[in-house]
Homo-oligomer: A and B are copies of this chain.
């Protein structure tokens, strides 16, 4: 994380209009949430008389910046699917309409493509009736696409359509794009707020403790793991190999290992291993138990694979496929040892990410979308809605995209994984 993180939130303009919300608690400027949760960290600050770092708290403000009766808003969803996208869209639309009385909300189709001219996509008007039941479907009714588009062209669209608040739901790349849009808006002197809603199924954004869809993904991963276990048990020297999401951080694989008791190996990007070390441990496991179940996060073992030199449309490094690589290596190893095995490889990524949000993620998405609306109405910009110590927060886009959250290989959670799986701490 950043050494000297900046928690200050930008504004389009001060609140000036009384909020139409009635009988609610309005967040005050002094309502700040401490970044540190350990007493020693706070004491460290106090000792050197450094201010205690803290987040602005999310929530409705007594005075808002935008006049609801004249405001037009836009929503865009970018990058890969994630459970809860439709729930967030719905929450934003319903809160704008019912709480603030905003009448016009556009959905831009197919990610940032929808903000340009060149694809010919037409914005969709999002009414309460249209979004009423969309949270029961997975995916995004707006469609999505990867990658950024020309910033200037996108701001042209916002300007021409007179959009007051743009809600951008997406991952790291999308949020950087949203930051660039906010920068161009500021340069042009426009009064358009840009509010990001962080979407990361991997739950790997620093400064944000929970991201929507992650819990649903861990649940859904259970099906593939159960299958892998059943297949592995059903054959002599049966091996079930499951590839899960997790490009930079192995939280899904880690929590799957805690939630499902049938895993014997959990491989994540944060914990390096050699292929020889892993195969030896796998062989020993088969000797002991005649079957094995392995979960590998897609970003694990990248030092083994090497960079392909390619990048996808979102700018992410395109790695070799660790799942296929492991499958081939395992089969070659036992073939050479003349030990018959039966390996079943399962890649459930699309099935996981396309389910609707479960009940708890649904409730979370509702609150997340509402807080995004409150932030935008209050004139905040160039920020995302975060979640910290059980409260929603405002986080500058730059801060949110400055570092990845990682599983700590020396921490208690990973230690519980080692206990749960029985895998060696070191596989080298």
> In the complex, what distance in Å separates the CA atom of A36 from the CA atom of B224?
41
- The answer to whether A316 has its CB under 8 Å from any CB of chain B is no
**Cross-interface CB contact of A415 among B25, B260, B344, B390, cutoff 8 Å:** B25
- The answer to whether A59 has its CB under 8 Å from any CB of chain B is yes
Q: Chain B contacts of A34 at CB under 8 A? A: 34, 36-39, 42
Q: Chain B contacts of A362 at CB under 8 A? A: 258-260
- Taking the full assembly, how many copies of this chain does it contain? 4
Per-position binary interface string of chain A over residues 116-148, scored 1 when its CB falls under 8 Å from any chain B CB and 0 otherwise = 000100000000000011011111110111000
Q: Chain B contacts of A355 at CB under 8 A? A: 226-227
Task: Tally chain A residues at the interface, Cβ within 8 Å.
Answer: 94
Q: Chain B contacts of A189 at CB under 8 A? A: none
A391 touches B37 (CB 8 A): yes
Q: Chain B contacts of A136 at CB under 8 A? A: 136
- The answer to whether A16 has its CB under 8 Å from any CB of chain B is no
Per-position binary interface string of chain A over residues 81-101, scored 1 when its CB falls under 8 Å from any chain B CB and 0 otherwise = 100000000000011001100
**Cross-interface CB contact of A351 among B141, B219, B346, cutoff 8 Å:** B346
Closest B residue by C-beta to A413: B367
- The answer to whether A234 has its CB under 8 Å from any CB of chain B is yes
> In the complex, what distance in Å separates the CA atom of A362 from the CA atom of B224?
17
- The answer to whether A69 has its CB under 8 Å from any CB of chain B is no
- The answer to whether A358 has its CB under 8 Å from any CB of chain B is yes
- The answer to whether A359 has its CB under 8 Å from any CB of chain B is yes
Q: Chain B contacts of A255 at CB under 8 A? A: 359-360, 363
> In the complex, what distance in Å separates the CA atom of A156 from the CA atom of B16?
64
Q: Chain B contacts of A420 at CB under 8 A? A: 366
Between A and B, 25 residue pairs with Cβ closer than 8 Å are A23-B415, A24-B412, A24-B415, A25-B410, A25-B415, A33-B39, A34-B34, A34-B39, A37-B391, A46-B46, A109-B236, A110-B235, A138-B230, A141-B233, A143-B234, A219-B359, A222-B359, A223-B351, A224-B351, A226-B354, A255-B360, A258-B363, A260-B362, A348-B351, A366-B420
The list of the 10 closest CB pairs from A to B, nearest first, reads A258-B363, A139-B230, A230-B354, A259-B359, A32-B39, A219-B359, A389-B389, A227-B354, A138-B230, A139-B234
